[in-house]
Structure 1
Amino acid sequence: MTSDPTALAAPLHTPAWTVGGVTVHRIDEVELPPQTGPWLLPRATPDVVAEFPWLQPDFAGSDRMLRLASHTFAIEADGLRILVDTGIGNGKERANPAWHRLRTDYLDRLERAGFSPETVDVVILTHLHTDHVGWNTRSHAGTWVPTFPNARYLVSRTEWDHWASVDMDGPRQQMFRDSVHPVADHGLLDLVEVPAGGLVAAPGVTLVPVPGHTPGQVAVRLDSRGSSALITGDCIHHPVQLAAPGIHSHVDIDPARAEATRRDLLSDLAGTDTLLLGSHFPPPTAGLVRAHGAAYRLHPVPARPGRPRATATPTGGQAPA
């Protein structure tokens, strides 16, 4: 199975949402193949999906198979240009056939949103999994170099310490070699302490600890002019986990903690006007959490077509030390 980079036709406009005075751009990379759902969330069977008709047609197909996507989010806050996660990346050796040696137009999409690589000030990595760090680097003259040469790459110290302490298999070692270590070698990686109450990474941008999927995973909360949004990372992979929060990913390091984190998060969001932006939710990608039966559902908030923007010049903004 290979991924066809033409599977996502390049839109004229970049999907975007307004959160107070902040615009959140969704930078599409690739739609994930149908086999991803049964592999990632094996308990979300077609029979389970059938119990929640609101999942169709946006979040599950007519065959009741989950739809998932790889994308990142680009925002500008207080003069800082921030990218949340960096997707799978191009041209990388990967054990997962759907991620192996991709050739997508991700950087073109990022530029179309007005975020050329050299203008990005901060890259927030919600966690260090392969499909969230790939565009940290790109190939240049036969080596992997940081894609965002003027950015500080923020990673939870808890996340870093975990991976530094475990015996990683070959594919994960390869991912660190091509997508993480080059950033550190260039002096661009910042390890940050994220307390229980969160860490302000920039005015209106807070890293919120959401452990379980990985020990140091963070979500990203945006607050502006009385409005708010939350970018999930992988504490919620798919809206089916709103309907059935006990469904966990088979790659959760601590499934029980991941479920507890998810339930607490959904309880806090339910009935509020905080926009939930899923890191793997297919379009419409965002919505409001509402109580539904014994659990929750997502009321979609479709993106508006953000206008193409001219490439900006580097801002010279400073990320937190």
Structure 2
Amino acid sequence: MPPSPSSSPILLTGAAGFVGLHVTRVLLARGERVVGIDNLNDYYSPQLKHDRLATLKDEAGFQFERGDVADAEFLRRCFETHRPRRVVHLAAQAGVRYSISNPGAYVQSNLVGFGNILEVCRAAAVEHLVYASSSSVYGANSRQPFSVADGVNHPVSLYAATKKANELMAHTYSHLYRIPTTGLRFFTVYGPWGRPDMAYFKFTQAVLAGEPIEVYNHGQMRRDFTYIDDIVDGVVRVLDQPAQPNPDWDSDSPDPASSNAPYRVYNIGNHQPESLEDFIAAIEQATGKQAIKKYLPMQPGDVLSTYADISALNKAVGFAPRTPISVGLPRFVEWYRSYYRV
């Protein structure tokens, strides 16, 4: 049973984003008030972001503030006006490949922006900060499933490096100021209202249009695809349980995912990696059309496989994903056909 909604609102950054929309909906449905922040940038279609927000405009308890987390003064005003006690930080410059050609965007949003979030959380002594990390932090690690007990010191993209930096920054604030922080390493999230820069979105678009799809590393890749409803369930469960110090934490043999400060990091994934070829086959099944495949080499910043060990999150909050791609992909295709009228 979730706790009774707080009288103070939840501040949620990235509210016009894919995950942000769905988390906001669930929080509002249970009676929370949510102040959503987004800068509505043009990394991908701003119209899609506006349309996501449009689904929330009539929801009681939702208020939107347009602004950038890299703007410290904007954040300070938001906190002074709304006085949130809990924060869900999902705003970030996303995308592995984009970080290779546009590093400055990641420094501003993911480093400066996250630093600003930590500062306003410190000043307000918030009850809990939950923030999005990424499976990309595992980088050159090859032992699978990826465990939060493993070190993640070899990122292979700037995006991954900024997400690892966020975890380090959060620990510092948890240690110095006792702010409870929880980082969630998302594993390849997909579903309705998803991001157009993601492979499943591009594949569906191309297959329905009868155009070729680009299949990297000649299809020899595996991903732990995680349906949006499962991600949201995990985020909300974590938000309801502020991070606590680990009483068994040992500085002689430090656990990377916890601390003697109120700090935690968890994987959140489907715990079921799928081959890229099988994933494409599931899209073909859902669309009723055959993919035209264009096989290409591995791209810089990519990794061969992702596979989430979710045992720590299951133990902490009872998280258990329930949506296989055979269920999730048809739901996405149905939304795609409806939204784009194809």
Query: TM-score if structure 1 supplies the norm length?
Result: 0.31
Which has the larger Rg?
2
Which one has the bigger strand percentage? 1
Looking at both structures, which has the greater relative contact order when contacts are Cα pairs under 8 Å and sequence separation is at least 6? 1
